[in-house]
Amino acid sequence: MIISVSLACGAAQAVDATGGAGATGAAAPATNVNANANAIANAVTDGWLGLYDAKAFSLSIAGAGALPPSRQAAWYFRGETVAVPKSGLPLAGYEPGVRAFDDVEHWASTRAPDAALDYPPLVWVAAPQRIRDARLAPEGKELVASSGAMPFKFVPKIALNRSYADASSIKFFASRPLMLRGTLTPEGFVARSVWPEDFAFGPDAPATRALPAGDATQAMRTLMREMPQGGAQSPYAAMTLWQRPGDTGKWVGKPVLGLMVNGAQGDDDEAHGGHFAIVTGRVQADGSIGDWLVNNFYSLDVESEKGIIAAPVPLDNYLADLNAGQGWYRPSTMLVAVLEEERAAVLVQSALNRVYNQFYRHQLVYYHPNQNCASISVDTLRALGWDVPARGPSSRVLAWLGYPFIALKDMSIGKAKLAFDYLRTDQTRLMPAAALEEAFASLLALASGAPPQPPEGKLA
């Protein structure tokens, strides 16, 4: 099944560069915090992390507790809270001395179709505790959970982060049930992420939306851009774009494979042109999507002004982490394929886990023109046999003409090469929106039984 989900975090409607009224509000009057502890769960006590049972993981908090199996991954997350696979589970490996995507292709060619799901080196859960079905008091200083109220505040804003919660955020959150990740302290609950539980998908198929005019790529482009500001101030929406004839629309427990695009916005110095990520998970009985797993790739060689580190991360953290969340500063669109069987989703997630092993080892180095979030994701899919159609470079002619011009103008071979590489890279490996448009067209053709070319490989 193919679903388009427009995610626009309502809290992004008004952003205060200084942190705003909700960022550093004083704690509520003294409350018995211990009495509310039973409303707060360990981040891996129950539920899911994408396709994985959360109970298959242990928590590592700032290097204390279980350690990631990858020494390199452990180094990057030495001050963070991560979920680490328990001993005895099948871990993703890697092939040394080869390109990351050659590794994926070699591995996929010998992997049994019914092979077990491999585990990643870690999942970045960011906070040790979680609260479901909670309400934020109107003034934003108290959180009401199943066992009562407790003092509440947001995690401090990173100084360089220009998008953060303010008074309008508190008003938005106070009007709906919430799922929060954070830390229970003697002074109350300190939230790391705040996720609206009414941002849901399923358990039944959403209402059908006819595709806009044009071919499939044009239709997806229209869907992503038809709302003002790309949907940044629009309500959350989910719709069915295609459904197999005879499908009942009862999807509880079905695996999903998603592609997420976050819009272009100048507030993220590492992703001015937007962002792209692959998502896996299952349709839940209550429609929750916060526990789906987003495979996020960012440069490991810079200190993000939002505190972002490349990793598999729960969807609620990916979009709604108070500092690192994409939903605070740009609109998002997610294309979701609801699958009858889990084989394709298991294959893709297992492959991405291998890519992370190569990425943390710097066998794969992030480079904005052609080793970026879109290219890493698309190259992984292509290595598995999903032949996402190429769109070609922006301009080979400008690349060659611009190289000597920029080199002389800026007296920099490095800047000239950077511009050359941008102009020479296939657009589906450079521009997140182009990647989603072409992936949607190929997926729609495959699902409807009329692929433009015979599919090849393990994802056929």
User: What's the whole-number mean pLDDT along residues 154-159?
Assistant: 95
Asked if residue 256 belongs to a domain, the reply is no
Write the pLDDT tens digit of every residue in 94-146.
999 999 999 999 999 999 999 999 999 999 999 999 999 999 999 999 999 98
Give percent above pLDDT 90 in the chain.
70
Question: How many whole angstroms separate alpha carbon 313 and alpha carbon 294?
Answer: 5
Whether 190 has a pLDDT exceeding 50, the answer reads yes
Write the pLDDT tens digit of every residue in 356-370.
999 999 999 999 999
Asked if residue 234 belongs to a domain, the reply is no
User: What's the whole-number mean pLDDT along residues 149-171?
Assistant: 93
Which pLDDT does position 75 carry in this prediction?
95
Asked if residue 421 belongs to a domain, the reply is no
Whether 226 has a pLDDT exceeding 90, the answer reads no
Q: How far out from the chain centre does Cα 440 lie?
A: 18
The first and second tokens of residue 29, run together, are 């009057």
CB atoms within 10 A of CB 348: 23
Asked if residue 108 belongs to a domain, the reply is yes
Distances from the Cα of 383 to the Cα of 262, 354, 403, 410, 457, angstroms: 24, 12, 31, 38, 8
Asked if residue 342 belongs to a domain, the reply is no
Asked if residue 175 belongs to a domain, the reply is yes
Whether 265 has a pLDDT exceeding 70, the answer reads no
Range of the domain at 57: 11-196
Residue 329 confidence class, pLDDT cut points 50, 70, 90: confident
Asked if residue 345 belongs to a domain, the reply is no
Q: Give the closest residue to 102 by CA, choosing from 300, 351, 422.
A: 351
Residue 73 confidence class, pLDDT cut points 50, 70, 90: very high
Residue 317 confidence class, pLDDT cut points 50, 70, 90: very high
User: What's the whole-number mean pLDDT along residues 60-70?
Assistant: 86
Asked if residue 91 belongs to a domain, the reply is yes
Whether 221 has a pLDDT exceeding 70, the answer reads yes
User: What's the whole-number mean pLDDT along residues 272-286?
Assistant: 91
**Total number of domains constituting the chain:** 1
Residue 217 confidence class, pLDDT cut points 50, 70, 90: very high
Which pLDDT does position 263 carry in this prediction?
84
